[in-house]
């Protein structure tokens, strides 16, 4: 089945940017027929709607925040300190089952903190496990380990760096006039999400352990990925760029300020300080401290920046789609459809399913929130569904089909040397198990 699915993706799904262009054209055609605007020149007005969404200032800020979150998380993962931790953790196994469970639980925990960090951390950890197995002649089923390293994308949107929940916690976000500002107290740290996350942390590693037990390992032949750099003689101002004292000192000041802002400044116990800007500021300080000096930090940025190119170029197109839907009146049309086919109990489930489908074509939580967010908020308003629950339903659906959509797996595949069809059977099992947990959570709470 995985071979068949891999062929389907290669045959019918072009590059994500091409998909974004096709979706733009498709939305333009729909808007032409569903446009409630009565102007005489509908095509011209639709183009203006598209342009208005394309360069929306609040949305462009959002895109930059998401880029920074991915890049800085990646930079943290590339630091020597994190690499040393990964090296030590990659030795705590003697067979595939233990390794699969270990990689899964560690990747899930890191991804709940930051999705960019979790994505690269899981990939490097999976690679190091393979290298350790090679060095010690341990038979390993490597594709299962690769799938375990990708498992963090199953929980990221329910973590503290989840695009939709952190954006709505920020003053001035693009949906504030509709839903106001919703703190992470009500979303990420709600009893529903905490319970769902805890179940995932228990069930997914156990599931991967079981799959590892049932699998047949084979002898590994992976070369070491460790890179040795030679020390260079520094002269003049180069000593400032490579000074550990200056680098660590500057990064430490940023981290201390973040702690002060979190522990001292709030007038009452609240998590309202956790916004995209706060997370990025903390990651900036942490990345500089872990890399110790500006030169190593900037080298890490140079390696990590390529991974954010998709956000840079695709997000404006998603914002243009949102502009078409919002200003043409399509948001109301689609939300009315959701209202007609669901009630307050089934709406979160329909949102979950639709978000999972949309994620295959819009493989970005932030871009999906821009496109789908206005629709689910309008429908939730009419059905009386709490906004936080509708938003978490979207977040759950978005992250679930990451196990099917190969876009974000590209860094992991590059680092581990695996192919998408090799990890797909196991990520599909993760997706099915996760879907059952998410739907149960949405129904119970």
- Summarize pLDDT for 182-221 with one digit per residue, the tens: 988 899 999 999 999 999 999 999 999 999 998 888 887 7
In a domain, 59, yes or no: yes
User: Among candidates 97, 152, 159, which has minimal Cα distance to 129?
Assistant: 97
In a domain, 232, yes or no: no
**CA triplet 43, 44, 50: central angle to 5 degrees?**
90
Task: Write the CB contacts of 312 (distance below 8 Å, at least 6 apart in sequence).
Answer: 63, 67
In a domain, 263, yes or no: no
Tens-place pLDDT, residues 151-172: 999 999 999 888 899 889 888 8
CA distance 307 to 73: 11
Supply 382's token pair.
């009419």
Q: What is the pTM of this model?
A: 0.81
In a domain, 266, yes or no: no
More confident residue, 430 or 43: 430
In a domain, 292, yes or no: no
In a domain, 291, yes or no: no
In a domain, 140, yes or no: yes
| Residue range(s) defining the domain that contains residue 324 | 13-222+304-444
Neighbours of 291 (CB within 10 A): 26
CA distance 238 to 52: 45
For the chain, how many structural domains are there in total? 1
CA 414 → CA 43, 284, 410, 418, distances in Å? 43, 25, 6, 7
Contact 119, 395 (CB under 8 A): no
Tens-place pLDDT, residues 343-366: 989 999 999 998 888 887 777 777
Task: Write the CB contacts of 129 (distance below 8 Å, at least 6 apart in sequence).
Answer: 90, 93, 99, 102, 103, 140, 145
Q: What pairs with residue 140 in β-bridges?
A: 218
In a domain, 428, yes or no: yes
Model confidence at 120, in pLDDT bands (50, 70, 90)? confident
Lowest-confidence region among 79-88, 181-190, 209-218, 225-234: 225-234
The pLDDT of residue 334 is above 70: yes
- Cα–chain-centroid distance for residue 150? 11
């Amino acid at each position: 089945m995985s071979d068949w699915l891999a062929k389907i993706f290669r045959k019918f799904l072009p590059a994500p940017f091409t998909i974004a262009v096709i979706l733009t054209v498709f939305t333009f055609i729909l808007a032409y027929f569903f446009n409630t605007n009565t102007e005489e020149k509908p095509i011209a007005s639709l183009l203006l709607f598209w342009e208005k969404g394309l360069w929306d200032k609040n949305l462009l800020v959002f895109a930059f925040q998401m880029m920074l979150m991915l890049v800085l998380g990646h930079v943290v993962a590339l630091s020597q300190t994190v690499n040393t931790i990964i090296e030590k953790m990659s030795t705590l196994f003697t067979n595939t089952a233990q390794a699969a469970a270990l990689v899964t639980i560690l990747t899930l925990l890191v991804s709940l903190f930051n999705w960019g960090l979790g994505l690269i951390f899981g990939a490097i950890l999976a690679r190091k496990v393979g290298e350790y197995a090679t060095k010690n002649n341990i038979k390993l089923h490597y594709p299962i380990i690769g799938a375990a390293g990708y498992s963090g994308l199953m929980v990221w949107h329910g973590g503290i760096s989840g695009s939709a929940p952190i954006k709505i916690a920020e003053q001035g976000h693009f949906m504030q006039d509709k839903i106001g500002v919703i703190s992470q107290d009500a979303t990420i740290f709600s009893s529903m999400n905490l319970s769902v996350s805890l179940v995932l942390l228990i069930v997914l590693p156990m599931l991967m352990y079981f799959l590892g037990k049932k699998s047949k390992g084979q002898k590994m032949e992976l070369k070491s990925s460790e890179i040795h750099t030679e020390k260079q003689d520094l002269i003049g101002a180069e000593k400032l760029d490579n000074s550990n004292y200056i680098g660590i000192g500057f990064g430490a000041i940023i981290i201390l300020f973040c702690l002060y802002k979190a522990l001292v400044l709030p007038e009452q116990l609240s998590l309202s300080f956790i916004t995209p800007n706060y997370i990025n500021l903390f990651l900036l300080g942490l990345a500089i401290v872990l890399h110790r000096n500006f030169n190593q930090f900037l080298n890490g940025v140079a390696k990590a920046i390529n991974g954010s190119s998709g956000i840079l170029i695709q997000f404006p197109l998603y914002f243009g789609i949102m502009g078409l839907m919002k200003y043409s009146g399509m948001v109301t049309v689609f939300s009315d459809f959701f209202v007609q086919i669901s009630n307050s109990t089934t709406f979160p489930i329909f949102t979950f399913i639709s978000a999972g489908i949309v994620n295959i074509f819009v493989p970005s939580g932030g871009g999906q929130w821009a496109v789908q967010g206005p629709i689910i908020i309008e429908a939730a308003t009419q059905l009386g569904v709490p906004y936080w629950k509708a938003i978490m339903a979207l977040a759950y659906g978005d992250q679930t089909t990451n196990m099917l959509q190969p876009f974000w797996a590209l860094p992991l595949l590059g680092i581990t040397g695996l192919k998408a069809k090799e990890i797909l059977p196991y990520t599909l099992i993760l997706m099915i198990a996760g879907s059952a947990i998410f739907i149960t959570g949405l129904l119970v709470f």
